[in-house]
């Protein structure tokens, strides 16, 4: 479990780093780039704390790492010309109370209406991949996008019908008194 989470964090940190490099016009790092995270038994516990935050606040590890590395940018040891990616922060700092409060504030600021929780609570859309034309990727992508749009529309229609059914059940029709 810990090794899976650490590999997920490594991918997330590489994605955050590549996004920052794209903004700064630096070349992107390849997927096989070495990513260094804090090591040790206590560091693993601190990194698992990040997993708990991701589950509790319904956000991705990329969101957590992006905002924490930006928040601790003055403490972080960072070299943009390096071919390796390091977190550059102690694990205890990364999972501190201050960091948790900052993540809570950022979740409220980025998702003011609770969209993060709504997305997680929605059932996953299953779209069967049938007869996709892999020779023409644009056509396959168009077909896939149409399947997603159709599934979303049918889900919205069903939920709208359920809502109207519930509302009509709450307010029964009354005859006017004569």
Angstrom distance (rounded) from CA 21 to CA 34: 16
Percent with pLDDT over 70 in the chain: 84
Looking at the fold, whether 138 and 65 belong to one and the same domain comes out as: no
Looking at the fold, whether 108 and 133 belong to one and the same domain comes out as: no
Looking at the fold, whether 57 and 138 belong to one and the same domain comes out as: no
Looking at the fold, whether 116 and 145 belong to one and the same domain comes out as: no
pLDDT < 50: residue spans in the chain? none
Q: Given this model, what pLDDT does residue 98 score? A: 94
Q: Which residue range forms the structural domain that includes residue 154?
A: 123-178
Q: Given this model, what pLDDT does residue 164 score? A: 72
**66-88 burial by CB neighbour count: b if 16+ within 10 A, else e?**
bbbbebbeeeeeeeeeeeebbbb
Q: Given this model, what pLDDT does residue 135 score? A: 62
Looking at the fold, whether 80 and 106 belong to one and the same domain comes out as: yes
How many domains are contained in the chain?
2
DSSP secondary structure letters along the chain: -HHHHHHHHHHHHHHHHHHHHHHTTPPPPPTT--EE---SHHHHHHHHHHHHHHHHHT--HHHHHHHHHHHTTTT----TT-SSEE--S-HHHHTSHHHHHHHHHHHHHH-TT-HHHHHHHSPPPP----S--SSSHHHHHHHHHHHHHHHHHHHHHHHHHHHHHHHHHHS---PPP-
- Residues contacting 6, CB < 8 A, separation 6+: 37, 44, 47
Looking at the fold, whether 46 and 114 belong to one and the same domain comes out as: yes
């Amino acid at each position: 479990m810990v090794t899976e989470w650490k590999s997920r964090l490594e991918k997330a940190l590489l994605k955050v780093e590549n996004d920052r490099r794209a903004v700064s016009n630096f070349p992107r790092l390849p997927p096989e780039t070495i990513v260094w995270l804090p090591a040790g038994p206590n560091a693993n516990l601190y990194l698992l704390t990040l997993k708990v935050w991701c589950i509790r606040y319904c956000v991705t590890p990329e969101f957590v790492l992006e905002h924490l590395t930006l928040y601790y940018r003055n403490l972080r040891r960072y070299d943009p010309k390096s071919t390796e990616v390091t977190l550059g922060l102690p694990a205890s700092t990364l999972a501190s109370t201050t960091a948790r409060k900052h993540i809570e504030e950022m979740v409220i600021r980025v998702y003011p209406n609770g969209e993060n929780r709504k997305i997680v609570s929605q059932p996953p859309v299953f779209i069967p991949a049938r007869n996709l034309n892999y020779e023409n990727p644009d056509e396959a992508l168009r077909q896939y996008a149409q399947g997603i749009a159709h599934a979303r529309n049918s889900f919205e229609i069903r939920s709208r019908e359920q809502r109207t059914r519930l509302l009509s059940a709450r307010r029964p029709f009354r005859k006017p008194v004569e």
